[in-house]
Amino acid sequence: MMRPVALLAVALCATSSLAFLTPAPRPVRSRCGVRARILHMSGVERNPNFGKLMGGYLFPEIARRRSAFLEANPEAKIISLGIGDTTQPIPPHILSGLVHGASKLGTPPGYSGYGPDQGVKDLREKIASTLYGNRIDPDDVFVSDGAKCDIGRLQVMFGKNVVTAVQDPSYPVYVDTAVIMGQTGLINEQSRQFDGIVYMPCNPGNDFFPDLAALPQRPDVIYFCSPNNPTGVAATRPQLEALVAYAREQGSVIVFDAAYAPFIRDPSLPKSIFEIEGALECAIEVNSFSKYAGFTGVRLGWTVVPKQLKFRDGSSMHADFNRVMSTTFNGASNIVQDGGLAILDKEGLAEIQILISYYLANAAKLRATVEAMGYKAYGGDNGPYVYVDLGGKSSWDVFSEILEKAQIVTTPGAGFGPGGEGFLRLSAFASKENVDEACERLQKVMVKGPVPWMAERPGRASPSSRGNRVFGQSVAGPNGI
Ligand code: PGU
């Protein structure tokens, strides 16, 4: 049988009008010398699950809109309160761990190649003792290149036949990976929910904790993030006790995402699901050094899969996760694991407290600023995100309005699921100077009447929208804001 590419080449030679062959990625010279644009197709069938996803992943989409704005307004001084990416340098003691890890590779005794798949023993032990007070077994720790990657690997382990539940709103990776794995049907255009996923509404009305008794279906795997992205709110002990009790009763497994745990300042709030009795038999925890050691680019995280966890047939989840890791991952970088050991030294732990305080001070300022403008806001005290109630406005519209008028990138709540519509997430991971400036800009944008700073700033778009409130209830702008 003729391959699609060969067929295409025949078609190219047979016709002089090639306009129907759009879109055409690159010009090539065909065998009969016609210079044409050809559409190169493989014979590989597309994974149909990708067709179910609505557009691209959230953060690249935001980056695309930011770039488009910058292209149209090259002099714009954009401030990002969008993606939760750290901005402050890695502190000296932690950095010395990375340097040590790198330089020992240049010596015969210090050199190492592939490491243990699960991560170096010292680091697993130090994670278990320093961060979990030895509540977990070091053998249950899988050191990795980050929490996001581990969520993907957990989905590979669970396969396509599980029912996934998510907080709504939630970090989009849980839903997107469930879709890619084939766990879902299509999205419902009306509800904006994927068929086959259990959405657990979390909003101010229920203290951001779902009504578990009201879930429409028994979930197999419950993704639960605390402190939460995007709401910035951390679950209380009684809430997590209720979650664990529910999971045990239903035979569900919780995947607890604790990527922001050290931001918790209220001592009554649990930092790990394993602080809750009974969790070792029903919970996995994904975690990361990204957000408080400046490791978003360095990449180091871990997942705890207790050996007590079993599938319905009695087989071990730990064994299957180990199989996924050893088959698809070759261990976290040895250099980076030395950095991880330094984070967990006394000096490293003190250094991360300084970074966390820095970002939490930013969060407090952002929250106070929007509250002073008359808006209800949540989070920011035990987590690095401030979640602003837009009073019924479309979050993508407000996102665009703020980008255009204040040159600030934010994240629309709708990007985190239908339950996030009407809210805006502000990330505290900017520099203090940028947060100060962003707060000033937001306040000015909200002033009724002409806004002086807009006229001063060169290169800004759309003077027609001058004087409208961004969040406000006052003058309606071009897109109804
Ligand atoms: N888990 C949660 C809840 C997160 O919010 C993030 C990052 C991660 C895991 C990723 O951790 P790593 O260990 O660095 O892999 N969320 C950021 C960044 C966006 C993204 O796509 O990861 C955010 O802005 O929501």
CA of 208 to the centre of ligand 1 (A): 19
CA of 35 to the centre of ligand 1 (A): 46
> What pLDDT digit, counting tens, does each position of 216-260 carry?
999 999 999 999 999 999 999 999 999 999 999 999 999 999 999
Residue closest by Cα to atom 5 of ligand 1: 229
> What confidence tier does 19 reach under pLDDT thresholds 50, 70, 90?
very low
Residue ranges per structural domain of the chain: 4-39, 54-88+348-474, 92-345
State the average pLDDT over residues 381-406: 94
Sign of CA dihedral 244, 248, 252, 253: positive
Residue closest by Cα to atom 1 of ligand 1: 259
Question: What is the predicted pLDDT for the residue at 468?
Answer: 33
Distance CA 169, CA 419 (A): 5
pLDDT higher than threshold 90 for residue 83: yes
In words, the CATH class of domain 54-88+348-474 is alpha beta
Q: Which residues contact 143 (CB under 8 A, 6 or more apart)?
A: 118, 119, 120, 123, 124, 127, 300, 301, 302, 331, 332, 337, 340
Q: Which residues contact 55 (CB under 8 A, 6 or more apart)?
A: 61
pLDDT higher than threshold 70 for residue 40: yes
> What confidence tier does 286 reach under pLDDT thresholds 50, 70, 90?
very high
CB within 6 Å of ligand 1 — which residues?
59, 83-84, 146-148, 171, 225, 229, 257, 259, 288, 290, 296, 301
State the average pLDDT over residues 108-132: 96
Question: What is the predicted pLDDT for the residue at 2?
Answer: 43
State the average pLDDT over residues 326-343: 97
Question: What is the predicted pLDDT for the residue at 444?
Answer: 79
Residue keyed to tokens 């997430």: 425
Residue in 86, 173, 300 to alter for ligand 1 test, most ligand atoms within 8 A of Cβ:
173
Q: What's phi and psi for 377, nearest 5 deg?
A: -140, 155
Q: Per-residue DSSP letters for 154-196?
A: HHHHH-SSSPEEEEES--THHHHHHHHHT---PEETTTTEETT
- Average confidence score pLDDT of the chain: 88
State the average pLDDT over residues 147-165: 98
Q: Per-residue DSSP letters for 394-405?
A: -HHHHHHHHHHH
Question: What is the predicted pLDDT for the residue at 447?
Answer: 40
> What confidence tier does 54 reach under pLDDT thresholds 50, 70, 90?
confident
Domain 92-345, what fold?
Aspartate Aminotransferase; domain 2 (3.40.640)
Residue closest by Cα to atom 2 of ligand 1: 259
